[in-house]
Structure 1
Amino acid sequence: MTQPIPFQEIQAILFDMDGTLIDTDDEAVEKVARWLRPFLGERGNVLARWLVMKIESPANALITLADRLHLDEPLKWFTTWRQARRKEPFIANFHIIPGVLEMLHAIPGNYRLGIVTTRSRHQIEGFLAQIPDLAPRFEVTCGSQDTRRLKPHPSPIQEAARRFDLPESACVMVGDTSVDMHSARRAGAWRVGVLCGFGKEPELRRAGAQIILGSTADFADLLQ
């Protein structure tokens, strides 16, 4: 039986970015669809979404396998090297998932907020620059440059908890993939899965999600 999350004991809420706060899955679909439309017309949109969904789970499985084989450090090095070769920091105009801003405003002030993501520090800063009224609430951010190991390793969650000066058991992780759930479970944090990314309910439950929501926008309702 899944253990209920004791929200009265939770002090910090950690959010993933992709598929949780920002809708990058649709951006990936659109990129694939642009290649397919000249050949398939509007049917290319349907095929693009199917292809991205089929790729998402194997990609997460590959990240998990890399972690188990201790190959995530070379993967992180390659990503950092690519970012360093850019002439300017990559800061995008992120598409925030509908309802997420309202949800963040509704979270009571006694909860401390953080971001735990595999995105770079520049990308985290770019996201926070889009929400200047909410940015000060995110006391802690932990990106790809902040820990030697990536999710699903517990290090990113552990580092975020350390920066809060809290035990992991006082933190809840909100994410859309099994990678997020594995990382939080291994760290000893609580876990909320969301279905606004490409994660599926069965795989999130297998990975240890204790609550699953249709969207991150619904999260504040849990705190009432």
Structure 2
Amino acid sequence: MTKLQGLKGLKHIKAVVFDMDGTLCLPQPWMFPAMRNAIGLHDKSVDILHFIETLPTEKERKEAHNQIESVEAKAMKEMQPQPSLVDLMKYLTTIGISKNICTRNLGAPVETFVARFIPPEFSKFDYIITRDFKPTKPQPDPLQHIASKLNLSPSEMIMVGDSYDDMKSGRSAGCLTVLLENHLNGHLVLENKELVDVSVEDLSEIIKLIQNLNNSSL
């Protein structure tokens, strides 16, 4: 069910930015704990990529990246699409709304996912931002970069994700934030409600959301 938190001052929606893991594909809750174990990071409050960046030597940083990439390779083989993924991609393509991805993953899993699960006629994404772009989410920079490239205001974009980082990045950039809620992240609606404009339980709900927003802004 779509839950609206408060949608003031929004403009006509012209672009959507998607997180990938847990958003375009189903959650893989084992993945991040496996990454942390692989690099010896047991403090859940410490960001994985930030931890690697603070390792003292280039050799240690490279080895840690190799370890998490090994976990990501396993996750890539097991990816499954969210229900309604193709319906939403078809809708956005048909009405000419820009599709984009902003992920802290690597490029290869994104390319594999898109090729495997989205029909070619709906698979064009204008910009795909991976963790090679610095700084990553939860900073607003990746979304501001996409908005700039599309010549749009961030207020004309939706950020769709399933994590605190997604919502924080979207809010800081000035986008409409949409949380794809599941059994693992429902606490965000309560604990970080100031970051979440809308929560949905299925990607198909975004179709109706855009229709309502764009019709009301005419």
TM-score scaled by length of structure 1: 0.69
Gap regions ≥5 residues in structure 2 = 35-42, 56-60, 212-218
| Alignment equivalent of 1:74, drawn from 34, 37, 53 | 53
The correspondence for 1:163, drawn from 146, 149, 152, is 149
Q: Does 1:125 align with 2:125?
A: no
Residue 220 (structure 1) aligns with? 207
Distance in 1, matches of 2:196 and 2:162, equals 10
User: How many residues align structurally?
Assistant: 186
Q: Give the 3-state SS of the residue equivalent to 2:126 in structure 1.
A: strand
SS of residue in 2 equivalent to 1:24: coil
Q: Establish whether residue 110 from structure 1 lines up as the match of residue 89 from structure 2.
A: no
Shift in Å, 1:73: 7.6
3-state SS of 1:209 partner: coil
Query: Which runs of structure 2 are paired with 1:1-224 in the superposition (5 Å)?
Result: 2-4=5-7, 9-25=12-28, 28=30, 59=44, 61-63=45-47, 71=50, 74=53, 81-82=65-66, 92=77, 94-107=79-92, 108-130=94-116, 131=118, 132-136=120-124, 138-145=125-132, 147-196=133-182, 198-200=184-186, 201-206=189-194, 208-224=195-211
1:177, 1:197 within 8 Å by CA — same for their partners in 2?
Answer: no
Q: Distance in 2 between matches of 1:21 and 1:7?
A: 24
Displacement after TM superposition at 1:74 (Å): 0.9
Are the equivalent residues in 1 in contact too, given 2:179–2:200 (CA < 8 A)?
Answer: yes
| Aligned-partner SS, 2:121 | coil
How big is each residue's C-alpha offset from its partner over 1:34-92, in whole Å with a ceiling of 9 and x where there is no partner? xxxxxxxxxxxxxxxxxxxxxxxx84x533xx89xxx4781796598428987xx8853
**Contact conserved, 2:10 with 2:156, CA < 8 A, in 1?**
no
The answer to whether the 8 A contact 1:103-1:219 is kept is yes
CA distance in 2, matches of 1:78, 1:222: 43
CA contact (8 A) 1:175 1:192 kept: yes
Residues 219, 2 of structure 1: alpha-carbon distance in 2 compared, 3 angstrom cutoff: closer
TM-score by length of 2: 0.70
Percent sequence identity over matched residues?
A: 22
Unaligned 5+ residue runs, structure 1?
33-57
